[in-house]
Structure 1
Amino acid sequence: MAFHSRPMPTLRGWVVGACGVLLLGAAGWFSRVDLLFAGLLLTLAPLGAMIAVALDRPWLAVTRSYSPAAVAAGEQTQVRLDMRNVAGRPVPAMRWTDRLPAGFAGPQVRALPPLAARGAAGVHGADSVTLRYTARARRRGAYLLGPLLVSHTDPFGLARGGYAVGESKMLLVTPKVSVLGRGGTAEARGEGMDPELVRHSIPSSDEVIPREYRPGDALRRVQWRATARLDQLMVRQEEQLSNPQAWVLIDTLKEHGGDDGPFEQGVELAASVASHLLALGYLVGVHETGGRQLSGSYELPGGDQVLLAQLAGIEQTRDTGGDASGRFAASLRGGRAASPTFLVLVDGDPRRWAELAPMRRYAAPAVAFLLTPAAQTAREPLESAGWVCVEVDGKTDAAAAWSLAMAAQLHASTAGLAGARDA
């Protein structure tokens, strides 16, 4: 059922009006006064009904709330609408729905029970009602839901009027965050891939306690003296670091146009990787290749929610924002040790990506996710510098892309270790 801001005849009203016009024509043809009277009555009845509906506007107050207040793309939120009659006269039964932006799945038209006059004595709560429905957002963003739309007809069903009541309220839809693998080959660390190493990412010359090698440990941490003495591969267990650093670069420049699907996929991938690193205890720096839209640095508690809220509104841009790649490179060089670094490349300038290749010396592990054919042109210079490059197509979700990256990182580490032992 469509809602109109102005009163409109219903199907019955159009039929009644059409019958009135026919009777008026018959009255003129047959010169009958009774047909003239009936024709005028039927013709004017829908108009009178429209005037009555316009004057009988309901006065309603609506309070809107969401549970949860923010959701990830594809998830549901429960919308609660507390409606109260603020007029001194009762409100008849009506129909209602909610005005939702494009891309939202929400309620169909539903029945609204009659409401008593404001503060009606003897009927507790009869002047108010609570409405609920479930809304689902298909993609991230900040959306205004509402106002509530109500519709009612005149007693004869000849005209219908629609009204917007209450106000709109913002709902934040964040990028979808996938749970990334944990343990074994699933943890990408600057000093390896074991979760325990979140506390051991800065080398110390004073503390060189050896422990056995685990898949993913960096080659530079192998302690050859202990390895020879114990006849098994040993690595250094180094000093504790309370706030290790990790970096994520998301490509926000738009060079070629076209489908925005890869960019949305890139935002979800960046959100998943950054959230995963935050959960491991990292201080995560997130940069863009375009103009600055993010605050830059995040840590727990609360940093994950701030990051997701900002990623909900991030957009592709043609504004380079100055030398964004240079600022990112400066951040990497400023670290005390090589840090986990992840590039999410979509549709920007391959020349800028190539400038990041020498930054491999400051990144461990160094992983680049290539989401488009344009991004794949950066594979050669990045891999030549030692970056692990992973091609991600439209069917690969964040968890699968992470698994591919960790498998590639493990293979690269194992190959490097084997080469060093042979040497």
Structure 2
Amino acid sequence: MSRPVPTLRGWVVGAAGVVLLVAAGWAGRVDLLFGGLLLTIAPLVAMAAVALDRPWLSVARTYSPDTVEVGEEVQVRLDVRNQSGRATASMSWVDTVPAGFARLAFRALPSLASGQSVTLRYSERAARRGAYLLGPLTVARTDPFGLARGGYGVGESKVLLVTPRVRALAGSGDDEARGEGTDPELVRHSIPSTDEVIPRDYRAGDPLRRVQWRATARAGRLMVRQEEQLSNPEAWLLLDTLRAHAGGAEPFERAVELVASIGSHLLDVGYQLGVHETGERQLAGSYELPGGDQLLVGQLAAIEQVREPGGDIAGRFAASLRATRSGVPVFLILVDGDPQLAAEFAPLRRYAAPAIAFLMTSSAAAARELLERAGWVCVEADGRTDAAAAWSLAMQAQQPAGGPRLAGAADVRP
């Protein structure tokens, strides 16, 4: 509860009481003394009444949708019920929101009879990703004479998860939904033994592009192709999370958005995704459908830059790549293009097909030279380049050599 304070009327009444007390002392009149005491004490009594006469309310808080992307609108619903045995006075309300959200103004809360409830609604947008606590609800009331005002915290706070934006990347459109396009071609290339198509029952989370209509017609229920799940092709991402390598908050935010977009795209076209971090581990590290895309984006909502390195990350990353049966797609997302970091990962090019490095700053000439000399495709993704544009640049930069294709782009270097 916030501390009760006099209203403007309360200050005026109190000041009038002080004036009467001074006049009573000067004139020696008892009636002025009595009036002065009454007016001076009245705001204090009103403040005590407001503090003690607390409304007993419960609040049920829901969000629609439960999770939102950066910049999307969330609808907040508050179901407020009077739990006391008597009606509440007319009050006003405002919800508590953290920094980064638009500040709300107080709105009228009608009087509620015992057991009666009312639904309050408002909308908000978050400018940055993160896990935010909204609430508790604050209700404010005045005494019957309008001399004092107090506020009360009602209900509990609840977390709202704001995830990074997931951009639609080239190659994830209608062609892939029909099982065509070049992403499935790369899936087949990754594991050559996927010629046999085995239908199975549809499960929640399966992409519609896997629906096998002939088997569906025969079985009378949705059936999907299982070749990608049997082949289990892999793709790998590395995100630079060390604060020492971070060129400010904005490049890191763009890097997180790029990981969310590329990771969701690769999962959608049939890959099992592995993710490494240069700093201490914050992500699960391995994702697959169904549900892997939501898990990845949800964990990226709360990922932060850290100061402690994650040990021999280059060695662990190399071990993961060596365990695969063939060259796999590998994507490096380097926040400030640290040359030392680039030198550690440049030799991993021989395990990757394709090998693409995204540099989140335009001042990474040394790192770019090291990586390109080892055969990496490098793309600068600074503040003028969003995730979709960076992906398109990477696809255009691949050199044709008859190798596997990714997302409708040119062939990858051998």
TM interval, shorter chain, is: 0.7 to 0.9
- From 382, 386, 393, the counterpart of 1:404: 393
What whole-Å deviation, never above 9, does each CA across 1:165-204 have from its counterpart, x for those lacking one? 11111111111111112279x99xxxxx813314412375
1:43 aligns with 2:40: yes
Match of residue 226 from structure 1: none
Alignment equivalent of 1:23, drawn from 3, 20, 23 = 20
| 1:241-256 mapped onto 2 (5 Å cutoff) | 242-255=231-244
1:19-75 CA-partner distances (Å, limit 9, x unpaired)? 211222222223233322222221111111111111211001111111111111221
Where structure 1 has 5 or more consecutive residues not aligned to the other structure, the ranges are: 119-126, 188-192, 208-238, 418-423
Match of 2:146 in 1: 157
Q: Distance in 1 between matches of 2:11 and 2:271?
A: 68
Note closer, same or farther for the CA distance 1:260–1:174 as it changes in structure 2 (3 Å cut): same
**Distance in 2 between the 1:170 and 1:129 partners?**
22
Does the residue aligned with 2:297 lie in a helix, a strand or coil? helix
Matching of residues 22-421 of structure 1 within 5 Å: 22-105=19-102, 107-118=104-115, 127-182=116-171, 194-202=182-190, 204=192, 242-255=231-244, 259-347=248-336, 349-372=338-361, 375-409=364-398, 412-413=399-400
Q: Distance in 2 between matches of 1:256 and 1:352?
A: 9
Where structure 2 has 5 or more consecutive residues not aligned to the other structure, the ranges are 196-226, 405-414
Letter paired with 1:413: P
Higher Rg of the two aligned structures: 1
Q: Is the 8 A contact 1:249 1:289 kept in 2?
A: yes
How far did 1:400 drift? 1.2
- Following the alignment from structure 2 to structure 1, what is the Cα–Cα distance between the partners of residues 20 and 303? 63
Distance 1:257 1:84 in 2: 48
Mapped contact 1:98–1:146 kept (Cα < 8 A): yes
1:49 and 1:376, CA in 2 relative to 1: closer, same or farther beyond 3 A? farther
Instruction: Give the direction of change, closer, same or farther, for the CA distance of 1:167–1:203 in structure 2 (3 Å limit).
Output: closer
1:258 positional shift: 6.0
Q: Measure the CA separation in 1 of the matches of 2:131 and 2:125.
A: 13
Q: Is the contact between residue 172 and residue 265 of structure 2 (CA under 8 Å) also seen in structure 1?
A: no
Distance across 1 between alignment mates of 2:140 and 2:192: 72
Which one-letter code corresponds to 1:141 in the other structure?
G
Aligned partners of 1:294 and 1:402: how far apart in 2?
Answer: 22
Deviations 1:342-378 (A, max 9, x none): 1110147531321211211211111111013564431
Does the CA contact (< 8 Å) of 1:282 and 1:299 recur in 2? Answer: yes
Question: How many Å separate the matches in 2 of 1:78 and 1:48?
Answer: 40
Q: Structure 2: how far apart are the matches of 1:57 and 1:341?
A: 60
Q: Which amino acid aligns with 1:46?
A: P
CA contact (8 A) 1:347 1:375 kept: yes
Q: Is the 8 A contact 1:17 1:43 kept in 2?
A: yes
SS in 2 for 1:313: coil
Question: Which of 255-264 and 75-84 deviates more?
Answer: 255-264
Cα separation, partners in 2 of 1:204 and 1:132, compared to 1, 3 Å = closer
Distance 1:162 1:206, change over 3 A: closer
Question: In 2, distance between residues paired with 1:57 and 1:84?
Answer: 14
| Whole-angstrom CA distance in 2 between matches of 1:350 and 1:325 | 14
TM-score by length of 1: 0.81
Distance in 2 (CA, whole Å) between partners of 1:198 and 1:357 is: 23
Task: Choose 254-263 or 275-284, whichever is displaced more.
Answer: 254-263
Q: In structure 2, how many angstroms separate the alpha carbons of the residues matched to 1:313 and 1:286? A: 15
Q: What is the DSSP-based 3-state SS (H/G/I as helix, E as strand, rest coil) of the residue aligned with 1:255? A: helix
CA contact (8 A) 2:58 2:80 kept: yes
Is the Cα–Cα contact under 8 Å of residues 338 and 367 in structure 2 kept in the other structure? Answer: no
Cα offsets for 1:85-143 (capped at 9, x unmatched): 1111110110001111111235321110100023xxxxxxxx11111111222111111
Distance 2:107 2:91 in 1: 9
**SS state of the match for residue 314, structure 2?**
helix
Contact between 1:68 and 1:77, CA under 8 Å: does it hold in 2?
Answer: yes
8 Å Cα contact 1:107/1:133 also seen in 2: no
CA RMSD, 1 decimal: 2.5
Distance across 2 between alignment mates of 1:96 and 1:206: 61
Question: Structure 1 residues 348, 289: closer, same or farther in 2, change over 3 A?
Answer: farther
Separation in 2, partners of 1:146, 1:176 = 25
> CA 1:361–1:96 in structure 2 vs 1: closer, same or farther (change >3 Å)?
same
- Cα distance in 2 between the residues matched to 1:21 and 1:32: 14
Preserved CA contact (<8 Å) 1:255 1:349 = no
- The separation in 2 between residues aligned to 1:174 and 1:32, in whole angstroms, is 71
